[in-house]
């Protein structure tokens, strides 16, 4: 599995990106992670100059050139058809995380550095997932992390970019340091696993109640005649979309009973929309938006609502069309919580 790649960027130089990384790396290493830290998108550098041995090795066709000392090494390489970032990440298989300082044009996730005295207005480039700042007055849709709190930044990176498998494996190594890092929900332990590696429901009691929202979509394809009968209301079982709407609302409220580790929630609002499409294949697109003021998100509730609505449509139409297909159920958008605002780029 390739390592996660994150870029630390800023709108200008001298914002302290290198110092931030110097403070961050020990925090990540305490969590047992294997990390590479690279300078990104450099146009010139003092190593590998024309005429030097490493340059001559590379010119001769070596895939990787470089040099070693008794305790360290430096490798330089290229890969046809790939950027330096892509080639480096491919070469660094086996690591948990690659952090690259710089390169604002990358499509990889970015964490932006904002300083009140140097660059007070954040760029918020595409794929910016968080901002690090010394200002407490930023009101953004992405999380804002205190520039002087490397532990909080390490927690965010672990929660956002590392899979439970990596986090659990890293935790075992971190235990040798007498430290561990928090999970996505509670800030302590690991998401859905206890210290013995057994499943558990995450304790969110210490989290602040905030406004949260999620919107999910899916679709059910069918024969054009089936869609026509649905829209005309001529199905033998009755109003297909009316019943499917009720099913979605009921499923949202029952998600905590259906999904083993989901929390029972006091849902504050559910909206269901249907978009019939009379194309080939004919289909009904289902959308469910769920709102809550609470301590955990409602993504699972929205996805469960979409699933139940689509299944209900199938159930009410299966007598005339058993070839219907439910597909493409996905989260479109979420708001609120520590991970901030998420929006799927391609719906």
Whether residue 84 lies inside any domain: the answer is yes
Q: What is the pLDDT of residue 203?
A: 72
pLDDT digit string (tens) for 205-228?
Answer: 767 788 999 999 999 999 999 999
In a domain, residue 156? The reply is yes
73-87, 108-122, 193-207, 261-275: least confidently modelled range: 193-207
Rg (CA), the chain: 25
Domain end (from 175, 202, 228): 175
Structure-token match 């294949």, residue found: 281
**Residues 282, 155 share a domain:** no
Question: What CATH number is given to the structural domain containing 322?
Answer: 3.30.70.640
pLDDT band at 166 (very low <50, low <70, confident <90, very high): low
pTM comes to 0.48
* 88 within domain boundaries: yes
Q: Which of 17-21, 96-100, 236-240, 326-330 has the lowest mean pLDDT?
A: 96-100
Same domain, 136 and 281: no
Give me the number of domains the chain comprises.
2
Strand-pairing partners, residue 327, are: 219
157 shares its domain with 80: yes
How many whole angstroms separate alpha carbon 174 and alpha carbon 282?
A: 53
Is residue 46 domain-resident? yes
Residue 202 is assigned to a structural domain of this protein: no
CATH number at residue 160: 3.40.50.300
Is 220 found in the same domain as 162? no
- Residues 27-55 have a mean pLDDT of 74
- Say whether both 93 and 48 belong to one domain: yes
Same domain, 216 and 270: yes
Instruction: Please tell me whether residues 156 and 16 are part of one structural domain.
Output: yes
So which residues are the catalytic ones? 315
Are 163 and 105 part of one and the same domain?
Answer: yes
Query: What pLDDT score does 215 carry?
Result: 96
Of the candidates 5, 77, 65, 8, which has an alpha carbon nearest to the alpha carbon of residue 36?
5
CA 316 from chain centre, in angstroms, equals: 36
Lookup: tokens for 31? 């969590």
* pLDDT per position as a tens digit, 173-196: 443 333 333 334 434 443 455 555
Residue 319 is part of which domain span? 210-343
Q: From CA 29, how far away is CA 27, in angstroms rounded?
A: 5
Domain co-membership, 299 together with 227: yes
């Amino acid at each position: 599995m390739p390592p996660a790649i994150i870029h630390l960027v800023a709108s200008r130089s001298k914002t302290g990106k290198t110092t931030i990384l110097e403070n961050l790396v020990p925090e990540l290493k305490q969590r047992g992670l294997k990390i590479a830290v690279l300078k990104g998108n450099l146009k010139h550098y003092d190593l590998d100059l024309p005429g030097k041995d490493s340059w001559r090795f590379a010119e001769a066709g070596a895939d990787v050139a470089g040099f070693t000392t008794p305790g360290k090494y430096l490798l330089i390489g290229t890969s046809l058809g790939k950027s330096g970032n892509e080639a480096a990440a491919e070469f660094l298989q086996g690591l948990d995380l690659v952090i690259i300082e710089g390169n604002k044009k990358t499509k990889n996730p970015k964490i932006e550095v904002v300083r009140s005295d140097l660059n007070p207005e954040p760029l918020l480039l595409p794929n910016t997932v968080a901002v690090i700042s010394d200002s407490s007055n930023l009101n953004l849709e992405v999380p804002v992390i205190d520039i002087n709190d490397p532990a909080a930044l390490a927690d965010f990176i672990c929660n956002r970019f590392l899979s439970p498998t990596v986090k659990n494996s890293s935790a075992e190594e971190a235990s040798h340091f007498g430290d561990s890092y928090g999970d996505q929900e509670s800030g302590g332990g690991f998401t859905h696993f206890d210290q013995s590696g057994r499943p558990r429901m995450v304790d969110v009691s210490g989290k602040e109640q905030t406004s949260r929202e999620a919107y999910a979509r899916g679709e059910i394809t069918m024969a054009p005649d089936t869609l026509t009968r649905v829209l005309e209301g001529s199905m033998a079982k009755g109003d297909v979309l009316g019943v499917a709407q009720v099913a979605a609302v009921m499923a949202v409220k029952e998600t905590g009973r259906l999904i083993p580790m989901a929390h029972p929630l006091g849902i504050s609002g559910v909206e269901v929309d249907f978009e019939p499409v009379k194309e080939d294949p004919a289909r009904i697109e289902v959308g469910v938006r769920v709102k809550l003021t609470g301590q955990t998100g409602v993504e699972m509730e929205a996805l469960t609502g979409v699933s139940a609505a689509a299944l209900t449509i199938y159930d009410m139409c299966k007598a005339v069309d058993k070839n219907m297909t439910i597909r493409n159920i996905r989260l479109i958008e979420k708001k609120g919580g520590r991970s901030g605002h998420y929006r799927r780029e391609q719906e």
